[in-house]
């Protein structure tokens, strides 16, 4: 059995430092095609995908995002952060993203039709999001999932969405400044249980 897919999954980490270089539309089309190959909730296909390249829109949203991060998001994460060096490096990358979000050449905003955000809608859109992250990785593009802006009351208005659509994330996409590498390993016996909660999974 080929391990190419597993290797791809295990090296699809958040790439928050992106070059401003243009991304060819045909690559974005491949990412969007991967999104629409995901299983939709209840087979209803209520998802929509907003591709944002307009600099004025990116500037306005990025300004708000930056304020949220430095006023509440960043301080909260740092207060609760473990002392691990890798976690501190992640927070530094989040600072960079907040300062340079508007420079990412392309954003994809996954949306779902409906007046309110629901668990069912999330169950339908986030598999599509993961497909996009994997497709970006396969194409040599960096991307990350951020949902912090979506908690703003006027998020939909700033993104230009109609009243019957809700956004579920922003995916900034571009060529990465750094190199792809393995996702930080998580020990299975710390997060997986066998049959009953608390019973350690042995892998057997």
For residue 115, what pLDDT is reported? 67
Three-class SS of the chain: CCCHHHHHHCCCCCCCCECCCCCCHHHHHHHHHHHHCCCCHHHCCCEEEEEECCHHHHHHHHHHHHHHHHHHHHHHHHHHCCCCHHHHHHHHHHHHHHHHHHHCCEEEEEEEECCCCCHHHHHHHHHHHHHHHHHHHHCCCEECCECHHHHCCCHHHHHCCCCCEEECCEEEEECECCCCCCCCCCCHHHHCECCCCCCECCCC
Quick one: angle between helices 85-100 and 55-68, nearest 10? 140
* Number of domains into which the chain is organized: 1
Q: Is residue 112 part of a domain?
A: yes
- Write out the residue range of the structural domain in which residue 21 sits: 4-179
Joined tokens for residue 77: 């994460």
Q: Is residue 202 part of a domain?
A: no
Summarize pLDDT for 24-64 with one digit per residue, the tens: 999 999 999 999 999 876 666 689 999 999 999 999 999 99
Q: Is residue 86 part of a domain?
A: yes
Q: Is residue 113 part of a domain?
A: yes
Query: What are residue 19's DSSP bridge partners?
Result: none
Q: Is residue 200 part of a domain?
A: no
CATH number of the domain encompassing residue 56: 3.40.109.10
Q: What is the pTM of this model?
A: 0.89
Q: Is residue 45 part of a domain?
A: yes
Q: How many residues in the chain? A: 204
Q: What is the pLDDT along the chain (204 residues), one digit of tens a residue?
A: 456 888 999 999 999 999 999 999 999 999 999 999 998 766 666 899 999 999 999 999 999 999 988 887 777 777 766 666 667 788 888 999 999 999 999 999 999 888 677 667 777 889 999 999 999 999 999 999 998 887 777 888 899 999 888 899 999 999 999 888 888 778 888 889 999 999 988 876
Q: Is residue 49 part of a domain?
A: yes
What is the C-alpha separation between 174 and 171, in angstroms, rounded? 10
Q: Is residue 185 part of a domain?
A: no
Joined tokens for residue 28: 């974005």
């Amino acid at each position: 059995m080929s391990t190419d897919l597993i290797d791809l999954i295990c090296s699809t980490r958040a790439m928050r430092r992106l070059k401003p270089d243009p991304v060819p539309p045909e690559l974005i089309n491949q990412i969007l095609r991967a999104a629409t190959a995901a299983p939709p909730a209840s087979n209803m296909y209520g998802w929509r995908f907003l591709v944002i390249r307009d600099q004025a829109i990116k500037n306005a949203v990025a300004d708000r995002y930056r304020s949220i991060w430095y006023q509440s998001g960043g301080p909260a994460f740092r207060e609760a952060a473990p002392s691990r060096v890798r976690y501190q490096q992640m927070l530094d990358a989040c600072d960079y993203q907040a300062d340079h979000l508007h420079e990412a050449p392309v954003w994809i905003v996954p949306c779902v039709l409906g007046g309110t955000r629901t668990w069912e809608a999330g169950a339908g859109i986030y598999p599509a999001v993961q497909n996009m992250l994997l497709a970006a990785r396969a194409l040599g593009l960096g991307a990350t999932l951020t949902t912090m802006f979506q908690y703003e009351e006027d998020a939909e208005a700033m993104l230009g969405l109609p009243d019957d659509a809700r956004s579920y994330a922003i995916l900034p996409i571009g060529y990465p400044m750094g190199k792809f590498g393995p996702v930080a390993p998580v020990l299975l016996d710390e997060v997986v249980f066998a049959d009953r909660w608390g019973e350690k999974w042995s892998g057997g």
